[in-house]
């Protein structure tokens, strides 16, 4: 028996159930599944489910299947199948064997439907959708039986075959399970199992004109694949009754080690939306540049933004698994990526809003080379070469004519600051243009301060970043912030009105020459500015801001 005891992960109610099932030898090993509908790109909520399902399989030495839940041919697209696989692999997970499709099992589903009809447990209903709705009742009122409920088995078999061979029109009839019209669970009031749809399917082409309902297909797919623990979000809690009923009424699956469904609470994140339908709307309304816009909570958008797989997996670990519905603060996600990037991102300098600095007492000809560490706490990352000369760029925000108070740690006339990894400079005077904008700052530098404090004991408080001007490389910076300016945008009537207008600010500035060949998606820390990564779609040197160095939101 391959039971693995996991000690380093916090336990949760699902792990407790698995531990019990394994110790009672209900199963020898576990098999979970991740069942996305290929109707959109995966988002951070899916990542929670992926980390849970694939993570459990890893920890318990079991397996996790990837199954595309493709029972809704009109809404699905093969494009999404590829993107979903790519995203799961990028997160570092692998599924057992080939990926599966619910549609692989259409022939089996059909046979199970026949079994139910033969047992007198399903019937073809010719009532209109409205009539069915009328008779369903509601939470306080019991439903009423359909006039077609007592059709004979033979007739039902006949009708169902005709449904599947295209002899009835779309909407003319549905196959319903015969359960209990007065159940307190609405999903048990003779739920529909099959509907007619003359739709082309991306996997099965025109083979079928009837398609199974989600509730029917899902539990049967789990059972066909020998899934042990079928994990889904809380909104399917009631549907568990139907899940169990169906498996208990199909002979092949009515056994103790059949799959069981367990529900956990879904991820809700403040300041964003997660439903694929809503994300699609953002794309269609051109409010973002696509599913992989770095502001999107999609895996592909987060990858482009500079999130690492580990930061997402750590986030899933931090939020844990429970049955309590809650709203997770964006700062929890942001802290996960910040913590990861702090460890792995090489340091470098970029000037995002450049202003020219001339060092007037710099007497050397040409450019001086300085070795700077790639990471001040991790020597193993090695060094990079930076440059210094009489012409530099610093950031506009790092200079003011007159320091407002003694706490000012940046440059001001008559004040000294250290240029990061380099010398101490002092601002002497500046030029302005006709709009009163500062164009050039003239400074002096202290030759004796490279890597040392001034020898006469003067204290220099501030450190600012810079790049040498003649070797600096042009770069574009996409400064991202949260997409929405309200905590719960799902409630907004019009997304355009609640989009944060500063969610993308584009700037043109300079980076060190060592950044010329920056690798796409590789994280860097632009010192004092934040974590950035090179955009994976632009040929030019474009850097996307992943996250600021510190949390500026929760203040
Ligand atoms: P959406 O509403 O975003 O379209 P969905 O549930 O329709 O999501 P599916 O493709 O059917 O999307 O989901 C695949 C799996 O991911 C399901 O098991 C579902 O429960 C899970 N999942 C989807 N959204 C979340 C979320 N926000 N938190 C946790 N799990 C989620
Ligand atoms: Mg769905």
The pLDDT assigned to 3 comes to 46
Does the domain at 269-346+475-547 match CATH 1.10.1160.10? Answer given as yes
Residue 444 dihedral angles phi and psi, to the nearest 5°: -115, 160
- Which among 1, 65, 62, 58 is positioned nearest to 30, based on CA atoms? 62
The pLDDT assigned to 8 comes to 61
Q: What is the average pLDDT across 485-489?
A: 93
Give the residue, 3 or 400, on which the prediction is more confident: 400
For ligand 1, atom 2: residue with the closest CA = 275
The pLDDT assigned to 6 comes to 42
Domain residues of the chain, as ranges? 13-264, 269-346+475-547, 353-465
The pLDDT assigned to 88 comes to 98
Q: Catalytic site residue 276?
A: yes
pLDDT at 1 > cutoff 70: no
pLDDT at 319 > cutoff 70: yes
Q: Are 425 and 417 in contact (CB under 8 A)?
A: yes
- Which among 516, 512, 504 is positioned nearest to 477, based on CA atoms? 504
Q: How far apart are CA 430 and CA 428, in angstroms?
A: 7
Q: What is the Å distance from ligand 2's center to 69 Cα? A: 8
Q: What is the average pLDDT across 264-291?
A: 95
User: How would residue 121 be classed by pLDDT, with cut points 50, 70 and 90?
Assistant: very high
Among the bound ligands, the one closest to the CA of 233: 1
Q: Which two tokens stand for residue 478?
A: 């996409």
pLDDT at 106 > cutoff 50: yes
The pLDDT assigned to 34 comes to 98
The closest-lying atom of ligand 1 relative to the alpha carbon of residue 277 is 4
pLDDT at 517 > cutoff 50: yes
- Cβ neighbour number for residue 18 with a 10 Å cutoff: 25
Name residues contacting ligand 1 (CB within 6 A).
35-37, 45-46, 48-49, 232-233, 266-267, 274-276
Q: What percent of the chain has pLDDT over 70?
A: 98
Q: What is the Å distance from ligand 2's center to 393 Cα? A: 51
Q: Which two tokens stand for residue 292?
A: 């992989």
The pLDDT assigned to 554 comes to 60
- Judged on CB neighbours under 10 Å (0-12, 13-18, 19+), 419 is buried
| 459-474 pLDDT per residue, tens | 898 999 999 999 999 9
The closest-lying atom of ligand 1 relative to the alpha carbon of residue 39 is 10
Q: What is the Å distance from ligand 2's center to 37 Cα? A: 6
Q: What is the average pLDDT across 408-412?
A: 95
User: How would residue 2 be classed by pLDDT, with cut points 50, 70 and 90?
Assistant: very low
Angle between helices 309-319 and 44-59 (to 10 degrees): 80
* Catalytic site residue from 33, 63, 276, 534: 276
pLDDT at 302 > cutoff 50: yes
pLDDT at 169 > cutoff 50: yes
Q: Catalytic site residue 108?
A: no
CATH numeric code, 13-264: 3.40.50.620
Q: How far apart are CA 549 and CA 75, in angstroms?
A: 41
Q: What is the Å distance from ligand 2's center to 301 Cα? A: 20
Q: What is the average pLDDT across 264-293?
A: 95
Among the bound ligands, the one closest to the CA of 45: 1
The pLDDT assigned to 162 comes to 98
Surrounding residues of ion ligand 2, Cβ less than 5 A:
37
| 109-119 pLDDT per residue, tens | 999 999 999 99
Give the residue, 459 or 171, on which the prediction is more confident: 171
Q: Which two tokens stand for residue 256?
A: 């103790």
pLDDT at 165 > cutoff 50: yes
Q: Hunting for tokens 């039986």 — which residue is that?
A: 145
| 126-160 pLDDT per residue, tens | 999 999 999 999 999 999 999 999 999 999 999 99
Q: Are 236 and 260 in contact (CB under 8 A)?
A: no
- Cβ neighbour number for residue 133 with a 10 Å cutoff: 10
Say if strands 391-395 and 354-359 run parallel, antiparallel, or are unpaired: antiparallel
C-alpha gyration radius of the chain: 31
Fold of 353-465: Ribosomal Protein L25; Chain P (2.40.240)
- Which among 44, 36, 52 is positioned nearest to 84, based on CA atoms? 36
pLDDT at 4 > cutoff 60: no
Ligand 1 pocket test: which of 46, 69, 93, 227 has the largest number of ligand atoms within 8 Å of its C-beta? 46
Q: Are 456 and 448 in contact (CB under 8 A)?
A: no
Q: What is the Å distance from ligand 2's center to 397 Cα? A: 47
- Counts for the chain of helices (H) and strands (E), in that order: 13, 27
Q: What angle do CA 286, 301, 530 make, to 5 degrees?
A: 110
Q: How far apart are CA 431 and CA 360, in angstroms?
A: 14
Q: Catalytic site residue 303?
A: no
The pLDDT assigned to 76 comes to 78
Residue 369 dihedral angles phi and psi, to the nearest 5°: -105, 135
pLDDT at 284 > cutoff 90: yes
Looking from the CA of 524 toward its CB, the CA atoms found within 13 Å total: 27
The pLDDT assigned to 7 comes to 47
| Inter-CA distances, 157 with 111, 114, 123, Å | 11, 7, 8
Q: What is the average pLDDT across 280-286?
A: 95
The pLDDT assigned to 551 comes to 84
The pLDDT assigned to 493 comes to 86
| 218-272 pLDDT per residue, tens | 999 999 999 999 999 999 999 999 999 999 999 999 999 999 999 999 999 999 9
pLDDT at 421 > cutoff 50: yes
The pLDDT assigned to 77 comes to 82
Q: What is the average pLDDT across 494-515?
A: 96
The closest-lying atom of ligand 1 relative to the alpha carbon of residue 231 is 18
The closest-lying atom of ligand 1 relative to the alpha carbon of residue 236 is 20
Q: Are 312 and 341 in contact (CB under 8 A)?
A: no
The pLDDT assigned to 312 comes to 98
Q: What is the average pLDDT across 472-493?
A: 94
Q: What is the mean pLDDT of the chain?
A: 95
Q: Hunting for tokens 């997402």 — which residue is that?
A: 312
DSSP-derived 3-state class of residue 188 = helix
| 16-69 pLDDT per residue, tens | 999 999 999 999 999 999 999 999 999 999 999 999 999 999 999 999 999 999
Q: What is the Å distance from ligand 1's center to 42 Cα? A: 9
- Which among 504, 39, 496, 536 is positioned nearest to 280, based on CA atoms? 39
The closest-lying atom of ligand 1 relative to the alpha carbon of residue 267 is 28
Q: How far apart are CA 431 and CA 401, in angstroms?
A: 11
pLDDT at 490 > cutoff 60: yes
The pLDDT assigned to 10 comes to 79
Looking from the CA of 39 toward its CB, the CA atoms found within 13 Å total: 16
């Amino acid at each position: 028996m391959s039971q693995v005891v996991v000690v380093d992960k916090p336990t949760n109610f699902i792990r407790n159930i698995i531990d019990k099932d394994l110790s009672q030898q209900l199963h020898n090993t576990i098999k979970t599944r991740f069942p996305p509908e290929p109707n959109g790109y995966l988002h951070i909520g899916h990542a929670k489910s992926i980390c849970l399902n694939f993570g459990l399989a890893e920890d318990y030495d079991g397996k996790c299947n990837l199954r595309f839940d493709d029972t809704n041919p009109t809404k699905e697209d093969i494009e999404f199948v590829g993107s979903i696989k790519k995203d799961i692999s990028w997160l570092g997970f692998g599924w057992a064997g080939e990926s599966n499709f619910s549609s692989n099992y259409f022939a089996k589903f059909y046979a199970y439907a026949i079994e139910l009809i033969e047992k007198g447990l399903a019937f073809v209903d010719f009532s209109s959708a409205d009539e069915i709705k009328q008779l369903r009742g509601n939470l306080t009122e019991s439903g009423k039986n359909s006039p077609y409920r007592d059709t004979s088995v033979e007739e039902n078999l006949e009708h169902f075959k005709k449904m599947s061979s295209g002899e009835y029109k779309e909407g003319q009839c549905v196959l319903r399970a015969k359960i209990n019209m007065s159940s307190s669970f609405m999903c048990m009031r003779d739920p529909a199992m099959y509907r007619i749809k003359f739709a082309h399917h991306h996997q099965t082409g025109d083979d079928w004109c009837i398609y199974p309902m989600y509730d029917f297909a899902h539990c049967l797919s789990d059972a066909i694949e020998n899934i042990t623990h079928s994990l889904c979000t809380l909104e399917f809690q009631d549907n568990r009754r139907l899940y169990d009923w169906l498996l208990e009424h199909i002979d092949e699956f009515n056994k103790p080690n059949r799959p069981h469904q367990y529900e956990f609470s879904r991820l809700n994140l403040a300041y964003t939306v997660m439903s694929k339908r809503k994300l699609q709307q953002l794309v269609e309304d051109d409010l973002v540049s696509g599913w992989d816009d770095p502001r999107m909570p999609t895996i592909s958008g987060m990858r482009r933004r500079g999130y690492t797989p580990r930061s997402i997996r750590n986030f899933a670990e931090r939020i844990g698994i429970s049955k309590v519905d809650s709203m997770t603060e964006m700062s929890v996600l942001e802290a996960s990526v910040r913590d990861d990037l702090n460890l792995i991102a090489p340091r470098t300098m970029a000037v995002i809003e450049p202003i020219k600095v001339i060092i007037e007492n710099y007497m050397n000809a040409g450019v001086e080379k300085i070795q700077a560490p790639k990471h001040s706490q991790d020597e193993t990352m090695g060094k990079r070469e930076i440059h210094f000369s009489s012409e530099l760029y610093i950031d506009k925000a790092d200079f003011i004519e007159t320091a407002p108070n003694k706490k000012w740690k940046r440059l001001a006339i008559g004040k000294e600051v250290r240029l990061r990894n380099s010398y101490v400079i002092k601002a002497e005077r500046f030029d302005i243009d006709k709009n009163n904008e500062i164009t050039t700052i003239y400074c002096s530098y202290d030759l004796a301060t490279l890597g040392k404090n001034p020898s006469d004991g003067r204290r220099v408080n501030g450190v600012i970043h810079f790049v040498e001007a003649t070797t600096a490389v042009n770069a574009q910076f996409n400064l991202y912030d949260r997409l929405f300016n309200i905590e719960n945008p799902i409630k907004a009537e019009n997304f355009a009105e609640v989009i944060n207008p500063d969610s993308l600010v584009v700037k043109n500035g300079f980076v060190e020459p060592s950044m010329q060949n920056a690798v796409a998606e590789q994280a860097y820390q632009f010192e004092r500015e934040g974590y950035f990564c090179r955009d994976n779609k632009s040929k030019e040197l474009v850097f996307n801001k992943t996250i600021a160095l510190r949390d500026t939101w929760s203040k």
